[in-house]
Structure 1
Amino acid sequence: MLKSNFTCLLRNLRFQTKYLPRVISQSHHHYKQDYQKISNPNASIFFLASIPLWNILTGKDPEAQEKDEDKLITAIKRGVLSIKNGDYKTAEQILHVALKMAQDLSHSEAVTYIYDVLANLAMEAGDFKKSEKLFVDVMQRLFAEGHKEDSIKMLHISAKMAHICHFSEKLDQAMQGFEWTLEKLKEKLKKYDDADDLWELYGLTKNWYGQLLMDKNLYKLARENFEEAYKIYTKLHGEKTLEGVMILNNLSVACSEMDDVAGAIENLKKVLELAKEIPKLTEIGIFHANLGLLYLKQSLLNEATEACKLGYRLGHQMENKDAMKQASYCLDRIKKYQNGVMLFIFALCKRFVFIKILCPGQSSNSNPHFSLQQALQKTLPIFSINFQLSCKNAPYFPRDAML
């Protein structure tokens, strides 16, 4: 029987799913929009693991079979490369050509694999209905090949289907999907504790689940899931990776939403330190803008302005529109904060002068600061409310297409 090269291809093309960052924005709940738009040229999509391949190319001599399969492999590689380069239209065209080749060769495993790649591609491009349909097709094919619902390939797709529900704002369905997938993964990890692929999927699902919990305002649970996801991922791959940095940024967001600004800043500073070791990280401008907004929560205007301006420059340099938008949002928050301070001072002065005119004797009594104290008591609550509206409730919005 001819030994196929296709199994080796599947192993070599087994990339990591993207972990993309949450960022501060005007809306916390537009998950689909915000996560989808942040792009990264180095990001890649997770494909199904290798499936044992047998020779089903009957009626041809071994050399002809190998040539046909080599052409198929080359076509799939070209499609995957186009995805990595962000050229989704070309990738889809090439993969459909590869799909036709696989069907003509009656290569069942190749057909299943290409369907899975197309499903991930549709998810990456934001076409969630198409992605869901293709994932259902993949699951049906895997069931037909004898896979059980708790096989790792099925669990990968289950996690992605739950993630699609989140993107599609079907939060209850997403919650059920994640909880079921995580429970099945826990059961398998009890039996196969040393299986890195299971741990990696568990960490990935924890990260996605954490994002869902953020959108349901369950920040404490979200933080716990991000912490566990980060611990798992860094144990497998180390700290100096794009995916690890993205999870750590998500953890910073959760801390901020819990009013743990110090913890959020600590995590985000670590993100920026690790980001120095990751070349061509286009999201770095977003991280600086996030840091600026955290500084603003602490009323550190100079630090906030510096961080946001740097975020804008880096966004422009990296041609990342989301980073520029985020930095502009940060600078706008700073401007509104400064305007609020000026209004506060103006209102305070007016109140102080008004009291001096109406109650000239009060300030000359035993308490010479009576008028100022009264003005502060009456004016500070107003300023405090304005500050909360403009700063504290400036939430992080979820990131860009995450597969």
Structure 2
Amino acid sequence: MTSRYRFFWRRLMHMKFNSKQVYEATLHKTHRNIYLPCTLGFSLLTLMGFEKKLNAQDELILTIKHCILFVQRGEFDKAEQLLHVALKQAQQIHHQEGITYIYDVMANLALEREQYDKAKQLFVAVTQRIMADGATEDDLRVVHISVKLARISHMKREYTTAQLGYDWCIEKLNNALKYDPSEANTKLLAMAEDWYGRLFLDSDKCEIGLSYMKQAYERMKNLVDIEQEHLVIQLNDLGTVCDRLGNVDESIEYYSKAIDIGKNFPDMHDLGAMYVNLGRAYIKKNMLDIARKSCGQGWKLGIKTKNNDVKHEAELCMQEIRAMS
């Protein structure tokens, strides 16, 4: 471990964990975003071996199952309330592994809801617990949490800290893949690369960001346990970055792939926006007939999904086409 990362990590580990403060934090509603498979859907469950114990039909396991179900449905308030019940159950029977897992789910839920300070405290608490049980700083469970801590720093615009964390995590995960090319390790590395790429975008280093995002997509598309909707959004974002860099042909390729897959999910909220993106790319190539058709489809989907933003953008796209005709 480099001295810079050691300082960063130990500073985090000395954070005081106040459970009452964390649990009583004000909650707010956010839309369930496309990164769910990489946050809530990728917790310590599989890494701790706790998954194998989910078959037990005791009260604690059933409560945890219901918590996860609420999370998957996007019913975050219900999940939050039931997680407190599960935590009390685990504490009453001194189920230490269960307590750790519940903290991890709480942390992921807080991250999903953009409650970054709360998520950070909970992730640190989880790390302290697993390290107290013998995990080292190189343990993949610790690396897993470090990726999310880097993400939190990124979202709080602490870019230097975020880059430090991503660099260290990606190095550790690349080394781990040499010995264990499992889907779990590949998924975590892809998540780290995708988030790292977006950090570079936010720092106006789009070419570097695009490189990391492409690597992430290449890993993700070959995974078995990955939601296709996630790949659709990834492809659209790649198209957007290419478009920003002036690589219009490449952006059209990514947008088209995103739409081809997204057509299988007609209720997908963002599909109309992808048609508009594709239409705007065709406008840049002066291919107005194709652009008109694409923006028109985006407008129809905006109406169908009651997405006024997409509808408005499609209308602007059509106006631009008429002005050029």
Q: Smaller-chain TM-score range?
A: 0.7 to 0.9
Q: For the residues of structure 1 that align with 2:284 and 2:305, how far apart are their CA atoms?
A: 27
- How much has 1:246 moved relative to structure 2? 2.4
Partner of 1:363: none
On the 8 A contact 1:40/1:282 being kept in 2, the answer is no
- How much has 1:326 moved relative to structure 2? 4.0
The answer to whether 1:129 aligns with 2:110 is no
Give 1:257's aligned amino acid.
R
- How much has 1:309 moved relative to structure 2? 3.7
Partner of 1:356: none
Partner of 1:47: 43
Q: For the residues of structure 2 that align with 1:278 and 1:222, how far apart are their CA atoms?
A: 28
Aligned match of 1:253 in 237, 240, 251? 240
Alignment of 1:1-400 (within 5 A): 37=31, 39=33, 45-48=41-44, 49-52=46-49, 70-192=58-180, 194-237=181-224, 241-278=228-265, 280-319=267-306, 321=307, 324-332=308-316, 335=319
On the 8 A contact 2:70/2:76 being kept in 1, the answer is yes
Q: For the residues of structure 2 that align with 1:253 and 1:86, how far apart are their CA atoms?
A: 27
Partner of 2:8: none
- How much has 1:98 moved relative to structure 2? 0.6
Q: For the residues of structure 2 that align with 1:239 and 1:51, how far apart are their CA atoms?
A: 20
Give 2:41's aligned amino acid.
I
On the 8 A contact 1:47/1:116 being kept in 2, the answer is yes
Q: For the residues of structure 1 that align with 2:34 and 2:95, how far apart are their CA atoms?
A: 33
Q: For the residues of structure 1 that align with 2:272 and 2:59, how far apart are their CA atoms?
A: 41
Q: For the residues of structure 1 that align with 2:48 and 2:284, how far apart are their CA atoms?
A: 51
Three-state SS of the structure 2 residue aligned to 1:237 is: coil
Query: Unaligned 5+ residue runs, structure 2?
Result: 1-29
Give 1:45's aligned amino acid.
G
Q: For the residues of structure 2 that align with 1:145 and 1:263, how far apart are their CA atoms?
A: 49
Give 2:147's aligned amino acid.
A
Q: For the residues of structure 1 that align with 2:157 and 2:104, how far apart are their CA atoms?
A: 23
Instruction: Pick 1 or 2: higher relative contact order, CA cutoff 8 A, min separation 6.
Output: 1
Q: Share of identical aligned residues, percent?
A: 31
On the 8 A contact 1:308/1:330 being kept in 2, the answer is yes
**Larger radius of gyration between Structure 1 and Structure 2:** 1
Give 2:204's aligned amino acid.
N
Give 2:58's aligned amino acid.
D
| TM-score (norm. length: structure 2) | 0.79
Query: Unaligned 5+ residue runs, structure 1?
Result: 1-35, 54-65, 343-403
On the 8 A contact 2:80/2:106 being kept in 1, the answer is yes
Q: For the residues of structure 1 that align with 2:285 and 2:313, how far apart are their CA atoms?
A: 17
Provide, for residues 50-82 of structure 1, a one-character-per-residue CA deviation record: whole Å limited to 9, x for no partner. 4257xxxxxxxxxxxx98x61111111111111
Q: For the residues of structure 1 that align with 2:110 and 2:125, how far apart are their CA atoms?
A: 14
On the 8 A contact 1:41/1:86 being kept in 2, the answer is no
Which stretch of the first structure deviates more once superposed, 42-51 or 267-276? 42-51
- How much has 1:302 moved relative to structure 2? 4.6
| TM-score (norm. length: structure 1) | 0.65
Three-state SS of the structure 2 residue aligned to 1:147 is: coil
- How much has 1:312 moved relative to structure 2? 3.6
- How much has 1:95 moved relative to structure 2? 0.8
Q: For the residues of structure 2 that align with 1:304 and 1:241, how far apart are their CA atoms?
A: 26
Q: For the residues of structure 1 that align with 2:41 and 2:226, how far apart are their CA atoms?
A: 20
Partner of 1:360: none
Q: For the residues of structure 1 that align with 2:66 and 2:106, how far apart are their CA atoms?
A: 13
Partner of 1:381: none
On the 8 A contact 2:34/2:233 being kept in 1, the answer is no
Three-state SS of the structure 1 residue aligned to 2:48 is: coil
How many residue pairs get aligned? The number is: 289
Q: For the residues of structure 2 that align with 1:250 and 1:335, how far apart are their CA atoms?
A: 24
- How much has 1:238 moved relative to structure 2? 8.9
On the 8 A contact 1:308/1:328 being kept in 2, the answer is no
On the 8 A contact 1:40/1:283 being kept in 2, the answer is no
- How much has 1:218 moved relative to structure 2? 1.6
Aligned-pair RMSD on alpha carbons? 2.8
Q: For the residues of structure 1 that align with 2:262 and 2:225, how far apart are their CA atoms?
A: 13
Which stretch of the first structure deviates more once superposed, 242-251 or 86-95? 242-251
- How much has 1:144 moved relative to structure 2? 0.9
Partner of 1:24: none
Q: For the residues of structure 2 that align with 1:85 and 1:267, how far apart are their CA atoms?
A: 29
Provide, for residues 179-222 of structure 1, a one-character-per-residue CA deviation record: whole Å limited to 9, x for no partner. 11101112222333x32221221111111111111112222212
Three-state SS of the structure 1 residue aligned to 2:138 is: coil
